[in-house]
Amino acid sequence: MNRAARLLLATLILSLGATLGPALAAPTRAAVTSDGPYTTNRFFADLEQQRVTRVVLSSGGMANVTLADGSGTRVRTLVVPPDGATLTRIRKAGVPLTVTGSGSTLGWLGQVLPLLLTGLILVVLWRSMRTGASSANPTAFGRSRAAVIAEGQIKLTFNDVAGCDEAKQDLQEVVDFLRQPERYHQLGARIPHGVLLVGPPGSGKTLLAKAVAGEARVPYFSISGSDFVEMFVGVGAARVRDLFEQARKSAPCIVFIDEIDAVGRKRGVNMQGGNDEREQTLNQLLVEMDGFSSGQEVIILAATNRPDVLDAALLRPGRFDRQVVVDAPDVRGREMILRIHARKKPLDASVDLGVIARRTAGMVGADLENLLNEAALQAARSGRTRIVGRDVEEARDRVLMGPERRSLVVREADRKVTAYHEVGHALAAQLLPHANRVAKLTVVPRGRAAGYMMPDADDRLHVTRPALEDMIAVALAGRAAEQVVFGEITTGAQNDFQQATSIARRMVTEWGMSDRIGKVALASDQGNFLGGGPQMLPMSEGTASQIDSEVKDLIDTAYTRAVHLIGEHLHRVHEIVTVLLTRETLSGEEFTALLDGQTLDPLPPAVPRPSGLAG
């Protein structure tokens, strides 16, 4: 139990005592005996008949009366009228009278405890307000929550960042300015006040900002855009002022605002029509950034995945003068990133980072770091002291598709359908002239997939129409194989249809590859790096109907090509499926050899996977 919990528990106990204390200390109105309550009239009657031998009066009118008669001595308690006539009658009867002073201890506590309880609650609240940087601390609302890293504490440099050479070149000017500002001032040059890093998640934007601070050896202020905004009006603006005040005192320095779109969104789009707290924070940020003079050596770096939603005033010259795109790396960049993350990992000679880079198209730096980490975990699970090639292959499949589900009981008929489906994909990928070749083929369930064909994708800057048509045919070849072989179709092609439809629709609406629709843009890219697909532009019902018809024609044509291709090479399909069901996994080289009519070396005996009815 922590200290705060103990204080609250003590408060509850004292609250209970303050509640019960007065009740326990309250005087009894009349003593109830076997012959009825002892009332004031009976007391005066006993007093006149000289049966009272002693009376003790306390504060509040409480009286303890001692009676003596033939049956013995008894003590009765009652409340007597607090007036002089009662005292006179007691004295005239010659009864000894004793008057006590302050009453019972419980009665005293019942009066004092509420005051003590109030004081204790105030102490508890005050201590909670002084706790760290808690959001419940009203005295710290207006203070910046930026993490401050002192000069020289960041050891990260540009040598630790790879795959973004152009971005590093742009940021090198910032480093040179922070190191030698007088060289720029003498020439009358104004270094950009702010640099906006844009790119997909995990591409290294935050890493680049730290590398700039490490290269320049200056203090580094790091804060997230969401840390400025609170439910209380004016808090965000106060935090912005405090952050920039600290930055000016520490100049030269770098201020890094991560996810700036949380506070820098376009103004004037509030549906309620008010100037909300976020807009006030943005206004203060604009004022502070515009207030820097050319002689102030404070550089603002910011990162976002959504440059399309930022306010135009934030992007104008004088604020964020420069945008640096940190996009997904190419094959050479991926290999360099893998080599950086492999520095402290014992790699076996069988690990070819160049091959891994070629087979991880589209991955960013965070994905590649995670891939090597998964490979290290796989090697540890297998009891090896070095990472071998199959560990990296397994890690890649695990990152892309999920873990293997070898314990899943699959019917033999389902395995056969899956094998023909995946071989259909692989055959089209291998034989169509513009398609990506096969990298791996398996019927082992992984994630939500019963099996999969992994293409050996490459980095393409421009994609031609024949290549897109081949992509659609490859996506539909699995369903085509099911139809040709079994004469019926299954539910296994759901994701294939989504891929084919997405490519065909973009060909028609974005890339002007439809003769019927023409070279018209009917969809616009959102301009962000989070995906989500393009947004359709306003159009007539007739145009929408033509788009649907054209998309259907593209898909039907590609499906017909896939069916003809499977039928033409059906004998090879049967042979490859037989081998695939036995080996469960084929590499791209093994699939190519089987397609050319070659045979594979037999596998060593292994424990067979369970089969039979599931559940």
Q: What is the pLDDT of residues 325-354, one digit of tens each?
A: 998 898 999 999 999 999 889 999 889 998
CATH 1.10.8.60 residue spans of the chain: 331-401
- Which of 457 and 210 is assigned the larger pLDDT? 210
In terms of residues, how long is the chain? Answer: 615
Specify the range with the lowest mean pLDDT, choosing from 450-464, 511-525, 528-542: 528-542
**The pLDDT of residue 134:** 44
Q: Which residues pair with 254 in a beta bridge?
A: 220, 299
CATH of domain 3-106: 3.30.720.210
Domain 412-595 belongs to what topology? Answer: Methane Monooxygenase Hydroxylase; Chain G, domain 1 (1.20.58)
Q: What percent of the chain has pLDDT over 90?
A: 27
Closest CA to 305 of 357, 255, 366: 366
Q: Using alpha carbons only, how large is the chain's radius of gyration in Å?
A: 41
Q: Do 360 and 367 meet the contact criterion of CB atoms below 8 Å apart? A: yes
* pLDDT (0 to 100) of residue 612: 38
The answer to whether the CB of 22 falls within 8 A of the CB of 64 is no
Query: Is 422 considered catalytic here?
Result: yes
Mean pLDDT lowest for which of 172-186, 195-209, 554-568? Answer: 172-186
Q: What angle do CA 155, 161, 166 make, to 5 degrees?
A: 130
pLDDT tens digits for range 223-243 = 888 888 765 566 778 888 888
- pLDDT for residue 407: 77
Classified as helix, coil or strand, 589 is: helix
Q: What is the pLDDT of residue 133?
A: 41
Please say if the pLDDT value at position 56 is more than 60.
yes
- Report the alpha-carbon distance of residue 556 to residue 550 in Å, rounded: 10
Higher-confidence residue of 103 and 287: namely 287
Q: Where does the chain hold its CATH 3.30.720.210 domain(s)?
A: 3-106
pLDDT at 43: 79
d(CA 451, CA 30): 89
Backbone φ/ψ region at 388: left (φ over 0), alpha (ψ -120 to 50), beta: beta
Query: Which of 259, 297, 422, 584 is the catalytic position?
Result: 422
Query: Residue 416 pLDDT > 50, yes or no?
Result: yes
- Could you give the residue range(s) of every CATH 3.40.50.300 domain in the chain? 147-325
Q: In this predicted model, what pLDDT tens digit does every residue of 262-321 receive, in sequence order?
A: 888 888 755 444 457 778 888 888 888 876 554 567 889 999 988 888 888 888 888 888
Q: Which residue has the higher pLDDT, 448 or 464?
A: 464
324: three-class secondary structure by DSSP: strand
Question: Hey, which of 55-59, 269-273, 556-560 has the most confident mean pLDDT?
Answer: 556-560
**Which DSSP category does 158 fall into?**
G
Residue bearing tokens 């890293």 = 149
Q: What is the DSSP letter of 278?
A: H
Contact 163, 353 (CB under 8 A): no
Answer whether residue 442 shows pLDDT above 50. yes
Q: Of all helices (H) and strands (E), which one includes residue 322?
A: strand 320-325
Nearest partner of 281 among 265, 301, 302, 263, judged by Cα: 263
Please name the fold of domain 331-401.
Helicase, Ruva Protein; domain 3 (1.10.8)
Average pLDDT over residues 38-62: 77
The per-residue pLDDT for 6 is 61
Q: Which residue has the higher pLDDT, 100 or 574?
A: 574
> Mean pLDDT in the chain?
81
Distance CA 137, CA 594 (A): 70
Q: Output the pTM of the full model.
A: 0.69
Predicted confidence at residue 539, as pLDDT, reads 87
- pLDDT given at position 531: 66
Q: Evaluate if residue 32 carries a pLDDT over 50.
A: no
**pLDDT score, position 611:** 42
| pLDDT reading at 107 higher than 60 | no
Query: Which pLDDT value is given to residue 372?
Result: 94
User: Residue 458: pLDDT band by 50, 70, 90 thresholds?
Assistant: confident
Nearest-CA neighbor of 314 among 277, 276, 295, 288? 288
State the pLDDT confidence band at 594, using cuts at 50, 70 and 90: very high
Q: Which fold has domain 147-325?
A: Rossmann fold (3.40.50)
Tell whether the model's pLDDT for residue 501 goes beyond 50.
yes
Of 5-9, 71-75, 580-584, where does the model show the most confidence?
Answer: 580-584
